[in-house]
Structure formats: C-alpha cells, structure tokens
Amino acid sequence: MAAIAARLGEFDFGEVIGWDWTGILSGLITFVVGSIVVRIAARLIVRGIRRSLRDQSRELVRKALLYTGTAIVIVVALNTAGVSVAGLLGAAGVLGIAVGIASQASLSNVISGLFLVSERFFEVGDVVRTGTYTGIVAGIDLLSIKLKTFDNVLIRVPNQALIEAPIVNITRYPIRRMDLTLTTPFSHALGETLRVLRSAADETLLVLEEPEPFVMLSQFSERGVEVILGVWFEHRNYVAVRNAVAGAVQQAFTREGLSFEVTSIRVDGGVPGEQRGTMDENDTVSDNE
Amino acid sequence: MGAMVKPWFDKTSRVVPGERLTIGALCLTSTVRERRYDIVCRMADEVHDRSLAVREDAWLRIAPVPPPLPVLFRPSSAILVPAGESVNLQLAVPVYVRIEASTGAPDPVTVIELPTAPEKRSWFGAADAGEAVSVFRPEVPVPGGDVAVVTTPVTVRNASATILSIERLVVRTLHVPICAIDGLLRTPSVSVTFKGSEQVSTVQYGNTRSIVARGGEVISPERVAATSAILRRSFVWLKDLAG
C-alpha cells in the first residue's frame, strides 16, 4: 500500500490531463470572491439610492447590477483560469443572436417591463384591475407582474400584455366614490326620496362629509323612478362603507315607510368633476371587487 | 370640609371598578374579577369591550389625548379677516380617552383609545392628494357636563393683501400637548400666518411654559412632535385655508 501511495504521489494529474490546476483554482477563487464582492457592492449601491427610488425600481437596479457584475466576474474568472475569453465572447455573440431570436417574447416583456416601471402607473401594494383580474400588485419583475387576488390566488401577468391592455389602478387616489342606484315606486314623492337618501349618507360615519354626498334623479323607468346616491370614502374603508351605506339606506327607507329596489352599486376611482360615462342597469350588484 | 374630587383626567386618578364614568358622549364601566379587568365603553349604538388579565396590584387610568387625525372646523358662517388683521379663535376639540393599565413595566400599556364625541370622517384638500380629517358633532360642548373637550387657542393672522375668508380650518391637534389648568383642559396656542393663496402659510405651535407658569400641568404629551417635515406639509395644506 505504501508503495502504491508513493507512486500516486509522484503523479502530476494536471500534467497527465493537461490542465493548469493552479490557474483553475485561481479562477474559482476569483469567481467566489468576485461574486461576493458584486453582491455586497449591489447591496451597498441600492442602499445608497433607496430614498430616491421606489421599491420596484430599486429591485430592477439591484438585479441589473447583480447580473452585469456576475457576467464580468465570470469573464475575469475564466481569464484567470487560462481559458481564452476572446473565443468564448465570439461564441457568445453567435449564441446571443440565436437566443435573441428564440426569446423575442421574453425580450419584449423585458422592454415592456422597463416602460411600465418608468411610467409609474402603479407600484407594489396598489390594487389594480386588468382584463378580468383584480388584485394587489405583489411584485414587478422584468418579465411579468404578480397579482395577489382577494381570494388569495397569485396571478402572473406578462408585461407585454399589460402594455397593450387597459389597467385600472383602483387605489391610486386615497378617496373614491360609490354610487348606489335605486328605483322607487312612482307613488313616492321624489323630494322625499332624495331627502331620505341624503340623510342616510349623513348618518354613515365613514362616508366623507367632503366631497359632499350627492343625490340625483337618474331617469324614469317602467319600474319607477331611478335615483342615485353618490358617496365618497377612503378606499381602505371600501367594504365597511358599502355595507354601512346599504344598511343606512334600508333603515332610513323603512323608518320613513318608503320602499325601493336596488338597481346597482358601482364604485369608480375618479376625481371630483369627472363625468361618468355609462351607468350599469343590472338587477344585481355590478361591482365585484 | 369634604375632600376635593379629582377630575377624571387628573394624573393620579384611577378607575374604580364598578363605577360608571361618562365623559362627553362616551360611557365607561369597568369590573374587576379574579385578576381580570372587564372594560365596556359605549357611545350611542357602538360598544367596545376589552378584557385584561392583570396583576393583583394593577390599576386602570383614563387619560385625555388629542384626536389622532387633524380636526376640521367649519364656522357657521365664513369668518372674514381684513388684510393685516388677525382673529383669535377658541376651538373646542373633543378629546379622545386612552385607557391605560399598569402591568409592572415602567410605562402603563394602552388598552383602548376612543373619541368622546361622535366622529365623522371628512377630506381636506384635493381628492387625489388631500388628507383624512375628523369632524366632531356636536362641535359646541354641552355646558355643565364632564370636561370632554380641550380648548385650543388659534390665532389666524392675515398677512396677505386681500381679505381672508375662513370657511374651513384644520387644526393639527396631534402636534399639541394637553394641559390641565383650573379644572379645564387646554393646549398651547397655535398661530397661523396666512400669506396669500399662492404662498404657503406659516404655523407656530406654542409650548407649555406659559400654562405651567400659571399653575397648569401637562397631562398628555403631543402624539407627534411638530418636526420641520410635518410643518412643511402643514403649510402646503394651509394654502387651502381660505378654501
């Protein structure tokens, strides 16, 4: 055994295989140390600019620094290991074209992502609606955004789809308006109906006094007189206000001996003075947020 | 001569279990049973109750604190202030009550905070960038009841070249401490200098020195110190003062 060990010790494996073990070891050390340095540098840079950038921009900068730095570290490490980088870069150029052609959709998503981030239409934590999806923006990445729906489902929406589709930012403004459309019988005096509706809004504590609630006649229909009660509220009180207003209206009408039929409840995210385009005329609640 | 009854907001006052206490529109009752405090607070139809496991030597205290949101005042008719003139207002702000319990730690813990008057929300400023404020009803305190309001003296000086019409006024009571003097609650004065609708107004929050010098005592510190950042933000909204 001792003789075998002695013979093995005499072998220079690097010479046998033809590798420069010292160079490979240096390359590995360069890669490990370089990767750590890149991570630390990226973290320090992001920390330095954290006040001037929003969350998603900061994450994009961090990733860009990380990927670029890692690519440089790999090239330097290969060079240290004695691998000809010039040849690799040439091959990488050809490979890059091939990958580029094969990943057009991904590149399109990346570019769309950059536009979305620069546009600043929404940010992490906002509630947005796009197509049939409504949810809280859980993350904005290079390729897609992640939406967390209210029933706890995570949806990935490609950035390219977002660029082409309308997006509604529901929580962009701190207050919103809710319109409750009711139909009352022709036998009820219109003035009395409007007065009762307004008092119901005034009694609801979470309904904002300013901008003022409004009541107005919408139209005369076959079923009766359609009237609208519009109330403003802080968007975080959405559910509470919706329930409270409906309850207050019901209570006020019962108290006054009046009857009504709910035509629709609609919530817009507009600003004062904005004109509503269309009115829902469904028999059921039309807003499903 | 009977012992003088301490007001509810006295720093050394303690909640007596079984006693019913009414402060403004808020009614509080507490019971103690086997190292457990049960506290029930009622205002109109609203009921808030808390149960608290405590030590044998534990106590409960009620402290007046400023409302957590800025308070909006709307005079019944606009107050007109000619250029170069000033107006002094004594604003009655319904206090919040904070129920504190001793737990053995150096500072008592807050069990609950509630308003002493029905509170409604409103909005001050633009709909896309304003801020939530509180509106209290009734805005005028009922004389003869328990002290449930803190008086904030506000001086508005019109340093602009035009008449200032005060239709709404937001007072950031969360930046002022509450003091007790002569059995009443009051805050240091607030001075607002209006420089025109295109310029930001300046706000100065007084300190408690003058109140303490007259025998008053600081009952509750301000919720939020009026730092320069907060003041700057206040100035921006005060552009809407004439609003």
Model confidence over B32-46: pLDDT tens digits? 887 788 888 888 778
- Which residue in B121, B124, B135, B139 has the most chain A C-beta atoms within 10 A of its own C-beta, making it the best mutation to test that interface? B121
Angstrom distances, CA of residue A63 to CA of A32, A67, B55: 18, 6, 53
Phi-psi region of A69 (alpha: psi -120 to 50; beta: other; left: phi over 0): alpha
Cβ within 8 Å of residue A3, ≥6 positions away: none
Say if B59 is an interface residue toward chain A (CB within 8 Å): no
Closest-approach residue (CA) in chain B for A205: B120
pTM of structure: 0.68
* CB of B54 closer than 8 Å to CB of B15: no
User: Rounded CA gap, A100 and A164, in Å?
Assistant: 22
Question: Which uninterrupted H or E stretch holds B85?
Answer: none
Q: What is the pLDDT of residue B128?
A: 79
* CB of B97 closer than 8 Å to CB of B62: yes
Q: What is the pLDDT of residue B2?
A: 46
Nearest to B190 by CA among B43, B87, B60: B87
| Count of pairs with CB atoms under 8 A, one residue in A, one in B | 41
**How would residue B178 be classed by pLDDT, with cut points 50, 70 and 90?**
very high
Say if B109 is an interface residue toward chain A (CB within 8 Å): no
User: Rounded CA gap, B113 and B115, in Å?
Assistant: 7
Say if B243 is an interface residue toward chain A (CB within 8 Å): no
Q: What is the pLDDT of residue A2?
A: 54
| Contact between chains at B121 and A174 (C-beta distance less than 8 A) | no
Taking contacts as CB-CB distances below 8 angstroms, the residues of chain A near B121 are: 205-209, 233-234
- Whole-angstrom Cα Rg for chain B: 20
**Helix A85-102 × helix A55-80 angle, to 10°:** 140
Among A173, A205, A209, whose Cβ lies nearest the Cβ of B128?
A173
Taking contacts as CB-CB distances below 8 angstroms, the residues of chain A near B132 are: 174, 234
Q: What is the pLDDT of residue A272?
A: 36
Among A172, A205, A232, whose Cβ lies nearest the Cβ of B123?
A232
| Contact between chains at B123 and A211 (C-beta distance less than 8 A) | yes
The reply to whether omega before B143 is within 30° of 0 (cis) is: no
**Lowest model confidence (mean pLDDT) among A32-36, B109-113, B144-148, B159-163:** B144-148
| Contact between chains at A205 and B127 (C-beta distance less than 8 A) | no
Among A209, A271, A272, whose Cβ lies nearest the Cβ of B122?
A209
Q: What is the pLDDT of residue A277?
A: 31
Q: What does the mean pLDDT of chain B come to?
A: 81
In tens digits, what is the pLDDT along chain A, a chain of 289 residues? 555 555 555 555 555 556 677 888 888 898 999 988 888 888 888 887 777 676 667 777 787 888 888 888 888 888 888 777 777 777 777 777 777 777 777 778 888 888 887 778 888 888 999 988 999 999 888 788 899 998 999 999 998 888 888 999 988 888 989 998 888 888 888 899 999 999 999 888 889 988 899 999 988 888 889 999 999 999 888 889 989 998 999 899 888 888 877 766 777 544 333 333 333 333 333 333 3
Average pLDDT rounded to a whole number, residues B105-123: 86
